[in-house]
Amino acid sequence: MEDSYSADSIQVLEGLEAVRKRPGMYLGDPHDGSALHHCIWEVVDNSVDEHLAGHTDSIDITLHSDNSLSVRDYGRGIPVGIHEDYGISAAEVIMTKLHAGGKFDNSSYKVSGGLHGVGVSAVNAVSEWMEMTIHRDGTIYFQRYEAGIPVEPLKEIGTCDDTGTMISFKPDLGIFTEVVEFDLEEVNTRVSETAFLNAGLKIKISDERSSEPHVVEHLYEGGLAEYVGQLNERREVLHAEVIKIRGEKEIEKGTVEVELALQWSDAFSESIRCYTNIIRNKDGGTHMSGLRTALTSSVNSYAKKKNLLKGDSLSGDDVREGLAAVVSVKHPDPSFSSQTKDKLVSSEVTGIVQTIVYDKLGEFFEENPSVAKQIVEKAVLASKAREAARKARDLTRRKGVLEGGGLPGKLADCQSRDPSECEVYLVEGDSAGGSAKTGRDRRIQAILPLRGKILNVERQKHNAAKVFQNQEIQTMIRALGAGVGNNTEEEGSFDTEKLRYNKIIIMTDADVDGAHIRTLMLTFIWRFMRPAIEKGHVYIAQPPLFQLSKGRVSKYAFTDEERDTILEELRGDNPNTKIGVQRYKGLGEMNPEQLWETTMNPETRTMLKVTVKDAEDSDRMFEILMGDDVPDRRAFIEKHAKEVTNLDI
Ligand code: 0RA
């Protein structure tokens, strides 16, 4: 007995040591904040499981000012009895043994689960300290751990008349670096998602880190339907009521439960979010494909039956245009394509979701003919717009060919024909274009001056033909040489393989107008050449805001703060030196040498790479930022002022 106890303890220590040595393997990147936040979800998910098992309706999360965090639930409390195999309390086993999670409760499977499902013990291992307080059988139990190791055995510290568990922990800053503080926005987003997926579960977040504590409560009785309502919050919806679908199917290992909510709006994009056992599958998977197939077939069959369709069948893209949907599948034993659970691969789910959606959506259409008609009409419109866009696009292509070679006259091309080393500057205005042409490295840098404000394509959602007829847009398409259109399966669509330049660099003035023009260009690229952004070909040049000169020395500053630092530096010990400060209002004010030196020289320049964290968020951003709803836009810009100036999409 004694021997086996100590052997097990050693095993436990080795397990925790492995997590401390390689946190990345268990929790994600310990530097960029992903592992740090993953710790929260590992702990919260245990309480969510307790809710799913029917024992708690509320969870409280508190962010404390010492950067520790606690999670309280009102469930059964972690079992405290001595564990047969280990000779220590079951609670201590859960807290110190990797993967000890749901082993104690065979009556229900663990539904929710962290990203890697490593359990709370992994969080314990990477915590400076962790404290567990259990209310159970009228007694309060407590145990503290440091770096995952118990300071003393579980002890009784008082009495109570409720039940539940509270876990508090402080991330060990010997392990986490760079991003070391919990991000309220990130916590809030994920918590709201969890609350939407668990109708009736109240999750309260209290942030005590600032002098004015901040409390937010998430409780959605409407569940997924309310979630979809929120996705469409700023959109014009086609039907007021969100469509709700539920169903289940027995498989060998248990029951697969399927729940969906759907609502169409007049938006251009589709947003479908997929979950398995409360975990987001960012890349979809078999539930997504089941839904897609069922949508296409049920809309088409209804349209045909009611004679609402003249020509060809509607495509999946047509049917899904403007759709917001959430699919939540609960599965006793799901398989994913990777550790991070980004994609569900359990093949039986395709058919299960497909059958349920096809049947229930068909019933819904029959019972709500006016809604059904609107959905079909919207898809027909989408199909017509797509066809018109295709024709206009082909015309643009043919015209390019007819005009000989297809390169626009305005393009000052580079000499190299090796796209991997070539870059093209999309420059605002002819005068800046002139400086850029003179200043560039003509071997690898091409310049394309664009005149004035290019068309706001976001306002031409249903009129793609107009987009293709636009002069500046045609010029851009022909210069880049990679086609146009985001439907990569269609011939002539944008294809990064054909791109004539590895880097597309947007260079506009560092003022409000410049920012606007840059956004117009980005909107066009996002809506019509998205792979260029997704594959990292798009950059934003960073021209300086100031030139500071003292005698023959001249320096450039890109921000106000930098200007002040350089001023101090140049003044040295003599505060009275009156330094020359020139503020650049536009690129045109710089001579070619200055433009080269500050903004274009690949050896010294800084550029922003345009990246997409979340395509859906970017879609929404462009919808709001460039769409026609003015009050919405103002509210959005006020809320996201910082991101908008950085144009980090
Ligand atoms: C194992 C078994 C039981 C409850 C729990 C774990 C449990 C774990 C956590 C973690 C956070 N909150 C929690 N609440 C419960 C069931 C014990 C029983 O049968 O009473």
Instruction: Write the residue with the smallest CA distance to atom 4 of ligand 1.
Output: 78
239-242 own/partner pairs: CB under 8 Å, 24+ apart: 239/263, 239/264, 239/368, 239/371, 239/374, 239/375, 241/371
CA atoms of 55 and 74, how far apart (whole Å):
7
Rounded average pLDDT over 424-451: 93
pLDDT of residue 149: 95
- The pLDDT tens digits for 347-358 are 999 999 999 999
Alpha-carbon gap, residue 206 to 213, rounded angstroms:
7
DSSP codes, 372-406 = HHHHHHHHHHHHHHHHHHHHHHHHHHHHHHHTSS-
- Summarize pLDDT for 61-89 with one digit per residue, the tens: 999 999 999 999 999 999 999 988 888 99
Pick from 92, 104, 120 the residue to mutate for probing ligand 1's pocket: most ligand atoms within 8 Å of its CB.
Answer: 104
Whether residue 474 is predicted with pLDDT greater than 60 in this model: the reply is yes
- Predicted confidence band at 401 (pLDDT cuts at 50, 70, 90)? low
| CA 162 – ligand 1 centroid, Å | 14
Q: Report how far apart, in Å, the C-alpha atoms of 441 and of each of 415, 507, 586, 592 are.
A: 10, 16, 21, 11
Ligand 1 atom, smallest distance to 164 CA: 14
Q: Any idea of the CA torsion for 323, 324, 330, 334, to the nearest 10 degrees?
A: 70
Interval between CA 77 and ligand 1 midpoint (Å)? 5
The predicted structure's pLDDT at residue 552: 87
In the predicted model, is pLDDT for residue 490 greater than 80?
no
Distance 466 CA to ligand 1 centre (A): 61
- Confidence tier at 620 by pLDDT (50, 70, 90): confident
Residue with the bigger pLDDT between 491 and 159: it is 159
DSSP 265: B
Size of the chain, expressed as the number of residues it contains: 649
State what percent of residues in the chain have pLDDT above 70. 90
Mean pLDDT of 401-411: 72
For 258, 490, 536, the CA distances from 484, given in Å and listed in that order, are 38, 10, 17
Residue 3 has pLDDT above 60, yes or no: no
Q: Which class is 406-543+609-643 in CATH? A: alpha beta
Return the residue whose CA atom lies nearest to atom 8 of ligand 1.
Answer: 78
Computed on alpha carbons and rounded to an integer, the radius of gyration of the chain in Å comes to 29
| Cα 48 to ligand 1 centre (Å) | 11
More confident: 324 or 640: 324
Residue 640's pLDDT is 60
φ, ψ for residue 244, nearest 5 deg: -115, 135
What pLDDT shows up at residue 37?
96
Distance 75 CA to ligand 1 centre (A): 7
Residues designated catalytic: 428, 509, 511, 513
Residue 6: pLDDT band by 50, 70, 90 thresholds?
Answer: very low
| Start and end residues for every CATH 3.40.50.670 domain found in the chain | 406-543+609-643
Pocket-testing residue among 39, 46, 61, 137, ligand 1, by greatest number of atoms within 8 A of Cβ: 46
Residue nearest atom 10 in ligand 1 by C-alpha distance: 46
Measured from the Cα of 167, ligand 1's closest atom is 11
Q: Which long-range contacts (CB under 8 A, 24 or more apart) does 118-121 make?
A: 118/19, 118/26, 118/27, 118/42, 119/42, 119/94, 120/42, 120/43, 120/46, 120/94, 120/95, 120/167, 121/15, 121/16, 121/19, 121/94, 121/95, 121/96, 121/97, 121/148
- How far apart (Å, rounded) are the C-alpha atoms in residues 39 and 63? 13
pTM for this entry: 0.81
Instruction: For the chain, give every residue range classified as CATH 3.30.230.10.
Output: 223-386
SS3 assignment, position 278: coil
Q: What is the pLDDT of residue 400?
A: 64
| Lowest pLDDT segment from 167-171, 266-270, 376-380 | 266-270
Mutational test site, ligand 1, from 43, 50, 51, 169, max ligand atoms within 8 Å of CB: 50
Determine the average pLDDT of the residues in 336-347: 90
Query: What is the arithmetic mean of pLDDT over 342-366?
Result: 97
CA of 165 to the centre of ligand 1 (A): 8
Query: Does the pLDDT value for residue 105 go beyond 50?
Result: no
| CA 82 to ligand 1 center in whole angstroms | 14
Q: How far apart are CA 237 and CA 224, in angstroms?
A: 16
Express each pLDDT in 587-612 by its tens digit.
Answer: 888 899 999 999 999 999 989 899 88
Query: What's CA 390's distance to the chain center, in Å?
Result: 30
Q: Which of 165-174, 409-418, 442-451, 546-555 has the lowest mean pLDDT?
A: 546-555
pLDDT over 90 (residue 406):
no
Q: Which residues line ligand 1 (CB under 6 A)?
A: 46-47, 50, 73, 75-76, 78-79, 104-105, 165
Average pLDDT of the chain, as a whole number: 88
The closest-lying atom of ligand 1 relative to the alpha carbon of residue 102 is 1
- Report the CATH architecture of 223-386: 2-Layer Sandwich (3.30)
What class, spelled out in words, does domain 16-218 have in CATH? alpha beta
Looking from the CA of residue 71, the nearest atom of ligand 1 is 11
Model confidence over 511-560: pLDDT tens digits? Answer: 778 888 888 899 999 989 999 999 999 999 999 989 999 888 889 998 88
Q: Which of 39, 43, 165 is the pocket-test mutation for ligand 1 (most atoms within 8 Å of CB)? A: 165
Residue 1's pLDDT is 33
Contact between 344 and 334 under an 8 Å Cβ cutoff? The reply is yes
For residues 330-340, give the mean pLDDT.
89
C-beta separation of 364 from 243 below 8 A: yes
Q: Which of 479, 437, 467, 466 is nearest to 592 (CA)?
A: 437
Model pLDDT for residues 258-283, shown as the tens digit of each residue = 999 999 998 888 899 999 999 899 99
Q: Of 162-171, 313-322, 444-453, 568-577, which gets the smallest average pLDDT?
A: 568-577
Q: Where in the chain is the domain with CATH 3.30.565.10?
A: 16-218
